[in-house]
A and B are shown apart, each in its own frame.
Chain A
């Protein structure tokens, strides 16, 4: 009887006061526990140093689970994500808003809003370059501060809001350099800043050094953001929708710049975007995410010439392409499932037009259908090596540990 009642309630998004209180209590307990666990794991360097599986990778995401403990329940924003970023290559992460692509990058930077957002499971390995690696999940803040902006840096979506309006742009670039190279002379810092401004294609570098952000246009501001990100020659740059707020012509400029810089600086780029066109022109590898999980990954050629997951196919068909006339655009029916109560079958099943009987089973395992091409779909289960399911973390178990 009681069970039936709760089942009924689960269907609607309405939460009673007692339920809400229960969630809050649970959240408080679990976040406290996780914070404690993190603290103890970050005391000793040996606890957060591991080894890379493949030393040719810069970053390895190994079954990363990042959950948010919100007032309406646990939101599994990233749930068992596995992928690697090789040296000197661009990895594009594609998906709709709310699919967890930004949270994946924030997990790598440890910029999650703690204690609400927590990486509860998995490892994010970041290559130190000397054979060992940091496990970012357990790395304490004091060490992270030295990595952030130095080894891993980020370009944000809104150049209008990510620069400080009350400081001159030159000073904002200086700040990053001084922070990570405290022994550097003042003149040398300025020289380096001017060099960076030159690198990102600003002609009037001496003039721009003394300008405030409001004096610059959107494209110029994004160039400044890129200069800040590149100031310490990072090994990986996370570009979170770097061109979404810009016009097409400016977008072309910025993408061209990023492409050239990657070759010059030998950095890897993790490019997060929802625009398939941008990814096609930039990325070597593509990861397609849906509702917190990876549905398909492979090289850009594999994904664009041979899209295999129904979601990827739908995504490609729903965007009009210049020069290709279609009468009606394909649209993926329905909406993304509610992130608080994810189904226990394939997340895409209810919207999928190619579903079969097998799809009623558990979440589909990853299937390797090419050397680098991996799909999570039952339609390919006989067509390649089955690698196993993404592992989700049971929060109930976590609290009883």
Chain B
């Protein structure tokens, strides 16, 4: 499991609201009569990053690369396998039941599908207010006014309180989901693909609402999405994930203007541009994402990479700061010392007779 320890010791900065250090989440695969564990799906496999207060971090990647799992593990909706998550200086994973309960009001989530994430049997006022009452956010006599205030902040008129979710369109429902998260006055919200189920014109409304709320309430977002144009619009910092690893992490402008990792380059070149005359040099990746239960040896991207070298097949690249504030994990940017190290690993692997079996998996 510890074949790569990417992150340096956590450095706490007052600005950092969230520090994630070498986060790992493996899901066991059970088989047979006794349900023995026969393998692991390596959903998140050593991810480290930081988010500053009042900023938005975008997390992009193909489906199945572990971005949603990452978001959920941070909120402790699913237990982690190893690694550390520090929220505002506190280690989230070691908190007791009561402490965690208090912490939950500070971090919230907005789910992807507004059609399945609202209880069809509760009126809107109750959906938004349930957790407020439970956590005693406001005094009981101010409860109604508070819910009205939250709803108005999200662009929902007061008379919606008595209505039920089926009476609303997708955009309105997503507003309700946002209001529900906002009602606990959190500092940090994980937005798990909040706009991908919505139409383009409604998407714009929700994105604008999220931006406005961030300004008004000083929120920090982690914005998970596979729509790169939306991520570019809303984020300050972008992390790119591939097969459970983070391959690149930098400020939005930097990463979009000069991506380093070959995967990021391919991903960005695949974005359709709404201009019939636009000439772009598309890098078309071969095949599809390999199974996270049996990821390729060495660099996980080597099976689809155009710049694949011999070392990539044997040694996993180190997570390092290539330029100030621009992190990347790729052998292309190795310095002499790292090169020597990688070659040493390769020589060792070759001597042990480890051949590359993953090649056949890519069609």
State which of A97, A253, A276, A329 has its C-beta within 8 Å of the C-beta of B208: A329
- Docked-complex contact B271 and A97, CB < 8 angstroms: no
Q: Report the Cα distance A332→B116, complex, angstroms.
A: 25
State which of A251, A300, A315, A331 has its C-beta within 8 Å of the C-beta of B270: A251
Binds A, one of B16-24, B118-126, B178-186, B224-232: B224-232
Nearest Cβ on chain A to B186's Cβ, whole angstroms = 23
- Docked-complex contact A328 and B274, CB < 8 angstroms: no
Q: Do A301 and B276 form a contact, CB below 8 Å, given A248-B62, A249-B285?
A: yes
Chain A residues lying within 8 Å of B272, measured Cβ to Cβ, are: 251, 255, 275, 277-278, 280-281
State which of B62, B169, B232, B276 has its C-beta within 8 Å of the C-beta of A320: B232
A256 interface residue (CB < 8 Å to B): yes
Q: Report the Cα distance A137→B147, complex, angstroms.
A: 53
A304 interface residue (CB < 8 Å to B): yes
Determine the interface band of chain B, counting residues with CB < 8 A from chain A: 35 or more
A218 interface residue (CB < 8 Å to B): yes
Q: Report the Cα distance A279→B275, complex, angstroms.
A: 9
Chain B residues lying within 8 Å of A252, measured Cβ to Cβ, are: 269-270, 282, 284-285
- Docked-complex contact B278 and A280, CB < 8 angstroms: yes
- Docked-complex contact B201 and A96, CB < 8 angstroms: yes
- Docked-complex contact A319 and B229, CB < 8 angstroms: yes
A247 interface residue (CB < 8 Å to B): yes
A330 interface residue (CB < 8 Å to B): yes
- Docked-complex contact A304 and B276, CB < 8 angstroms: yes
- Docked-complex contact B199 and A96, CB < 8 angstroms: yes
Chain B residues lying within 8 Å of A305, measured Cβ to Cβ, are: 276-277
B94 interface residue (CB < 8 Å to A): no
Which positions 206-237 of chain B face chain A at CB distance < 8 Å? 207-208, 211, 226, 228-230, 232-233
- Docked-complex contact A329 and B273, CB < 8 angstroms: no
Residue of B nearest to A302 (CB): B276
Residue of B nearest to A330 (CB): B204
Q: Which of A220, A248, A304 has the most CB of B within 10 A?
A: A248
Chain A contact residue count (CB 8 A cutoff): 48
Nearest Cβ on chain B to A318's Cβ, whole angstroms = 4
Chain A residues lying within 8 Å of B230, measured Cβ to Cβ, are: 320
Q: Report the Cα distance A323→B233, complex, angstroms.
A: 9
Q: Do A321 and B229 form a contact, CB below 8 Å, given A247-B62, A274-B199?
A: yes
Nearest Cβ on chain B to A306's Cβ, whole angstroms = 12
State which of B205, B266, B274 has its C-beta within 8 Å of the C-beta of A276: B274
Nearest Cβ on chain B to A29's Cβ, whole angstroms = 30
Nearest Cβ on chain A to B68's Cβ, whole angstroms = 14
Q: C-beta contact mask, B239-277 vs A, less than 8 Å → 1, else 0?
A: 000000000000000001000000000111111111111
- Docked-complex contact B169 and A335, CB < 8 angstroms: yes
A204 interface residue (CB < 8 Å to B): yes
Q: Do A249 and B266 form a contact, CB below 8 Å, given A301-B277, A320-B229?
A: yes
Q: Which of A255, A322, A332 has the most CB of B within 10 A?
A: A322
Q: Report the Cα distance A314→B202, complex, angstroms.
A: 11
State which of A202, A204, A249 has its C-beta within 8 Å of the C-beta of B62: A249
Residue of A nearest to B288 (CB): A217
State which of B169, B226, B233, B269 has its C-beta within 8 Å of the C-beta of A247: B226
Chain A residues lying within 8 Å of B278, measured Cβ to Cβ, are: 280-281
Q: Do A203 and B363 form a contact, CB below 8 Å, given A281-B273, A320-B229?
A: yes
Can you list 26 A-B pairs with a CB-CB distance of less than 8 A? A203-B363, A204-B363, A217-B289, A220-B288, A247-B226, A248-B226, A248-B228, A248-B267, A248-B270, A250-B288, A251-B270, A252-B282, A277-B273, A277-B274, A281-B276, A301-B277, A304-B275, A314-B201, A316-B274, A319-B200, A320-B207, A321-B274, A328-B208, A328-B211, A329-B208, A330-B204
Known: A208-B363, A220-B288, A248-B270. 17 other contacts (CB 8 A): A219-B288, A248-B62, A249-B266, A249-B284, A253-B284, A275-B272, A277-B272, A280-B273, A281-B272, A315-B200, A318-B201, A320-B230, A320-B233, A321-B229, A322-B256, A323-B232, A329-B233
Top 8 closest A-B pairs, CB basis?
A277-B272, A320-B233, A318-B204, A252-B270, A331-B204, A329-B204, A247-B62, A300-B276
Give A contacts to B, CB under 8 Å.
96-97, 202-204, 208, 217-220, 247-253, 255-256, 274-281, 283, 300-301, 304-305, 314-316, 318-323, 326, 328-332, 335
